[in-house]
């Protein structure tokens, strides 16, 4: 990672502009010590009484009044238009885990772009949190102590094969791909273990499982190399 703007030994909260549940945002703010806004995510933070430690993006969406409320040395304008504000922020953060909120609601094109960024940075531990779901890119292996009947969806961003234990419908021997078979709306029969052979597999769980997913990602010893 080249010259990160934000360095932390603890998880960092990254807030995007697709506003969601204020109570959920406030809960996350109580869990972290460092808060970063991706462009207009700063407006949502300001609405709940928080000023981010860093504001990152092309800054074409954040309101003028919110930008003025952020200390000038915390504002980081990245003008290039070849990446989303989410990706700009990901590149600028060096932390063991990024919790992202404000990226799964709002416009569908923004959601799809966020999923693409997750697939582009498989080496990073990132959990995106929405009102109903949490999403992350799977490491090579992960253990998830889920209760029976928990919804488990696997969505491949490119062709991926793997193996599973604890899923009602195992994925062993199947090639999952965005243009073919996908693994959505599966469910746990109990604790789940997943192994995938290559990058590109996203996991989607109910938002009630966000702490479990966060802990499992941090606990996993397997990491993909950066693409």
CA–CA gap between residue 41 and residue 50 (Å, rounded): 11
Query: pTM score, two decimals?
Result: 0.95
What residues form DSSP beta bridges with 152? 186
Mean pLDDT of the chain: 95
- Looking at the predicted structure, is the pLDDT value of residue 210 above 60? yes
Per-residue confidence band for 2, with pLDDT thresholds at 50, 70 and 90? low
Over the range 40-71, which residues count as b (16 or more CB within 10 Å of their CB) and which as e? bbbbbbbeeebebbbbbbbbeebeeebbeebe
Q: Spell out the domains of the chain, with CATH numbers in brackets.
A: 6-131 (3.40.50.10240), 141-219 (2.60.120.320)
Tell me the mean pLDDT in the region 153-163.
98
Tens of pLDDT along 78-128? Answer: 998 889 999 999 999 999 999 999 999 878 998 999 999 999 999 999 999
SS3 assignment, position 72: helix
Q: How far apart, in whole angstroms, are the C-alpha atoms of residue 166 and residue 64?
A: 50
- Residue 47 pLDDT > 90, yes or no? yes
Indicate whether 25 pLDDT > 70.
Answer: yes
């Amino acid at each position: 990672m080249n010259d990160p703007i934000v360095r932390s030994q603890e998880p960092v909260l990254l807030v995007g502009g697709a506003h969601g549940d204020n109570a959920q945002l406030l809960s996350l703010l109580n869990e972290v010590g460092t808060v970063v806004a991706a462009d207009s995510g700063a407006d949502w933070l300001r609405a709940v009484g928080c000023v981010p430690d860093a504001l990152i993006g092309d800054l074409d969406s954040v309101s003028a009044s919110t930008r003025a409320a952020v200390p000038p040395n915390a504002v980081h304008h990245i003008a290039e238009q070849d990446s989303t504000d989410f990706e700009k922020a990901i590149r600028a953060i060096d932390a063991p885990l990024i919790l992202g909120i404000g990226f799964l609601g709002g416009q569908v094109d923004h959601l799809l772009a966020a999923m693409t960024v997750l697939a582009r940075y498989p080496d990073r531990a990132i959990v995106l949190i929405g009102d109903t779901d949490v999403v992350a890119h799977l490491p090579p292996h992960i253990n998830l102590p889920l209760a029976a009947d928990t919804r488990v969806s696997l969505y491949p961003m490119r062709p991926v094969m793997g193996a599973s234990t604890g899923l009602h419908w195992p994925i062993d021997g199947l090639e999952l791909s965005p243009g073919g078979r996908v693994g959505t709306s599966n469910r746990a029969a109990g604790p789940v273990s997943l192994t995938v052979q290559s990058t590109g597999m996203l996991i989607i769980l109910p938002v009630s499982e966000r702490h479990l997913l966060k802990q499992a990602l941090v606990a996993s010893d397997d990491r993909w190399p950066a693409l």
